[in-house]
Structure 1
Amino acid sequence: MDLLPGVRAAEVQGRVRTHYLESGPADGEPVVFVHGNLSTGRFFEHLMPGAPERWRILAPDMRGFGRTEPAPIDGTRGLGDWADDLVGFLDALGIDRPPHLVGWSTAGAAIALVARARPVASLTFLDPVSPYGFGGVFRDGRPCFPDFAGSGAGVANPEFVQRLRDGDRSEDSPLSPRTVMNATYWRAGHREPPAREDLLVDEILLTQITDDGYPGDAAPSEHWPGAAPGTRGLLNALSPKYCDWSWLPTLRDRPPVLWTHGGQDVVVADGSALELGTLGAGGVVPGWPGADVFPPQPMVSQIRDVLEAYRAARGRVEIEPFPDSGHGPHVDAADRWAATYWAFLESLR
């Protein structure tokens, strides 16, 4: 594996055999970058060479992704498997001091769960999934339908899943992994250098495409659009039926929080381009029952509501918008995001 200068790759046996990248001194203060859906630790690699020397930076591949041992994801635990894997990963490395955790997208829910399980030094939510999961809920988290129809693996695009399974590296279709990455991960028009883009596509294609990985299984529903969450795999773990971190303000020990959000994010948004309420309202998915029944999910507003409640409970919250960024400001505004993050950590000393 060709890595950037100063970056090392290794594996450690925790709850699962975990592949990870690392930089910085072995006795440095631990910082853990946790990737989201359809990505790996290498989506953070570029941040490592320029990081301040005091930090030991770790970027694991999470269960179901990358080079980590394939293992089933119990969707009914939300991101509980990921959270427990992270705790096991830290324990296997002998890290007993509270870590700084960064959770991108899906991993936002996982790092919140870690903070409920053990002391952490800080939480950084990097365009996280809503505190009420992805799809099919009103602003206060109530489900649009009692079986949470319209969320989970049953609403995944089958052509996109097949192209992942086939290892499609092209950009011949709007549903090829490369095209989807460039259209939804970054701001409009952003492209990584060709070699880096190829590398990231290859990392996406390491995804475990099964009912136990991505996208998961599904259940039929009498409600629109005809599918409800199953019990296995990542997209079910992200369903509001199982994914919830709205309890964050009730933490007894409230670590400092940083929330960074891309203003052009089409994945996590008040009206996400990937969510059934938005797709139904736009006529992309027929039969939409209307905004009174299944509104576009106000994801950013939900995040803000929970973090303002956290602040009201005397938790420290810093909010840093990236108006010109997409779902991954740590990539499409890498220098500014890195400067913001290291300054946040420095402010905690």
Structure 2
Amino acid sequence: MTLFDGITARVLDTSRLSVNILEREGDDPNTPPERTVVFIHGNASSALFWQENMLHLPHDLRVLAIDLRGYGGTEHAPIDATRGVRDFSDDIAVTLEELGIPTAHLVGWSMGGGVVLQYALDHPVLSLTLLSPISPYGFGGTRRDGSRLTDDDAGTGGGAANPDFVQRLNDHDLTADAPTSPRSVFRSGYVTSGYTTEHEDVWVESMLSTSTADGNYPGDQVASDNWPGFAAGTTGVCNTMAPKHFDVSGIVDLNPKPPIAWVHGTADPIVSDTSFYDYNYLGQLGIVPDWPGAEVAPPQEMVSQTRDVLDAYRAAGGEVTEIALEGVGHSAHLEAPGEFRHAILTVIGYVGTPANPSPPTETIILKSED
């Protein structure tokens, strides 16, 4: 069973596409927006990943999670990557409209962090919790200041996905027989070494819900005269995050500015200043041959870019709290759920009796200037 006791799923037919949502049994649909929390998952995952945290948030909140297009039970409609992640954020907007939710507190993980930032640029939100979010300048292909390395975003987008991983998604591979199997990728990329859980099968099934149809994951690519020989295309998931299509650094100029909690693990191998998913960093390590050097193809400083933009957001009057969890990987909601929920309750200004009031057990480094 992929649904936990206390979690229900239903499909909404919206004006854009059919959208699958997860809800918590007993939540009041008339809960006001200021007590409504909406979870948005990342790439190669689905809303299933949020279930534990949904169940353990206070029961006077309304909590729900949305499957993005091409994931989980949502329609596998193609993605126009030239719009960045706006196909995703527009889908969220019509879903919330269908549910009668004019605004809410949004939580986004990884790519979902970029999606909720785009949503905040286009729609009012009450707060943002960013969990291991992609850089505000996209995934790969930029310098520290966000400027693009090449005009075609060489080394980013659909061509950067491992084709054997894509095939194993398509084959619904449940094994751990190869480093590129979804289960192996979960163990090596999503969480830190030594993390174990009785729910691993659910998380792997969530990854396997990723559509590999044309226009979904990973997306197309084009040939490039720049190293490593390919560049971002115009359709599919991975191309939505290419820097020519994606830039949400404009949040600095938002008015009003919702409070932001930025939660990330210091051992994250995916979103990092030294990301093992960044072609330029792999080139620097010698894993991808013929790297042209740091002057031409420097690794993207993803975490530093996020900190720079959020520092500017704070300097412009916004409220930002950074929570860096020592030794935690890409999935703090799984590895340090108490700290993660504490961050959500703090940023939404929750007043009440938490469902799980146990104090955090992991190290939390608060780097807000407040």
TM-score normalised to structure 2 length = 0.91
Q: CA separation in 2, counterparts of 1:56 and 1:141?
A: 37
3-state SS of paired residue (1:259): strand
Out of 179, 187, 195, the position equivalent to 1:190 is: 195
- Aligned pairs for 1:295-310 (under 5 A) are 295-310=298-313
Residue 139 of structure 1 deviates from its aligned partner by 0.6
SS of the residue corresponding to residue 249 of structure 2 reads coil
Shift of 1:2: 5.6
For the residues of structure 2 that align with 1:288 and 1:276, how far apart are their CA atoms?
A: 9
Moved over 3 A (4+): none
Partner of 2:357: none
Match of 2:162 among 154, 157, 162: 157
- The DSSP-based 3-state class of the residue aligned with 2:72 is coil
Tell me which residue corresponds to 1:255: 258
Are residues 1:331 and 2:334 paired? yes
Structure 2 letter corresponding to 1:294: A
Aligned CA distance change for structure 1 residues 78 and 348 (closer, same or farther; 3 Å):
farther
Alpha-carbon distance between aligned partners in 2 of 1:129 and 1:43, rounded to the nearest angstrom: 18
Secondary structure (helix, strand or coil) at the match of 2:69 reads coil
Say whether 1:50 aligns with 2:51: no
Select the residue among 175, 180, 183 that pairs with 1:175.
180
- Residue 355 of structure 2: aligned partner: none
Q: Secondary structure at the match of 1:58?
A: strand
Query: 1:138 matched to which residue of 2?
Result: 143
Q: Secondary structure at the match of 1:22?
A: strand
| Kept after mapping to 1: 8 A contact 2:37/2:104 | yes
The corresponding residue for 2:8 is 8
Whether 1:74 aligns to 2:80 is yes
Contact 2:110 2:132 in 1 (8 A): yes
Distance in 2 (CA, whole Å) between partners of 1:161 and 1:70 is: 16
1:265-315 Cα deviation digits (max 9, x unpaired): 010001101101110000000010001111111000000000000001101
Matches within 5 A, 1:1-349: 3-14=3-14, 15-23=16-24, 24-28=27-31, 29-96=35-102, 98-193=103-198, 196-346=199-349
Equivalent position SS for 1:20: strand
Query: Is the CA contact 1:311–1:317 (under 8 Å) kept in the aligned structure 2?
Result: yes
Counterparts of 2:343 and 2:148 in 1: how far apart (Å)?
Answer: 35
8 A contact 2:149–2:297 mirrored in 1: yes
**The 10-residue stretch of structure 1 (323-332 or 2-11) with the greater mean CA deviation from structure 2:** 2-11
Structural RMSD (CA): 1.4
1:110 is displaced (CA, Å) by 1.1
**Counterpart amino acid of residue 105 in structure 1:** S
Asked whether the 8 Å contact 1:25–1:53 carries over to 2, the reply is no
For 1:47, the aligned partner's letter is N
Q: Aligned-pair distance for 1:109?
A: 1.5
Aligned pair count? 346
2:56 aligns to what SS in structure 1? Answer: coil
Quote the Cα distance in structure 2 between the aligned partners of 1:2 and 1:217.
31
Query: How far apart are 1:168 and its partner, in Å?
Result: 0.8
TM-score (normalizing by structure 1): 0.96
Cα displacement (A) at 1:348: 8.4
Contact 2:165 2:180 in 1 (8 A): yes
Alignment-mate amino acid for residue 6 of structure 2: G
Q: 1:294 to 1:2 in 2, by over 3 A?
A: closer
- Are the equivalent residues in 2 in contact too, given 1:271–1:277 (CA < 8 A)? no
2:126 partner letter: A
Tell me how far apart the structure 2 counterparts of residues 336 and 253 of structure 1 sit (CA, whole Å): 27
Moved more, 49-58 or 225-234: 49-58
Aligned counterparts of 1:340 and 1:216: Cα–Cα separation in 2: 34
Aligned-pair distance for 1:211? 3.0
Give the AA of the match of 1:166: D
Structure 1 stretch displaced more, 261-270 or 13-22:
13-22
Distance, in Å, in 2 between the alignment partners of 1:110 and 1:21 is: 18
**What SS does structure 1 have at the residue aligned with 2:349?**
helix
Quote the Cα distance in structure 1 between the aligned partners of 2:271 and 2:336.
17
Unaligned runs of 5+ in 2: 353-370
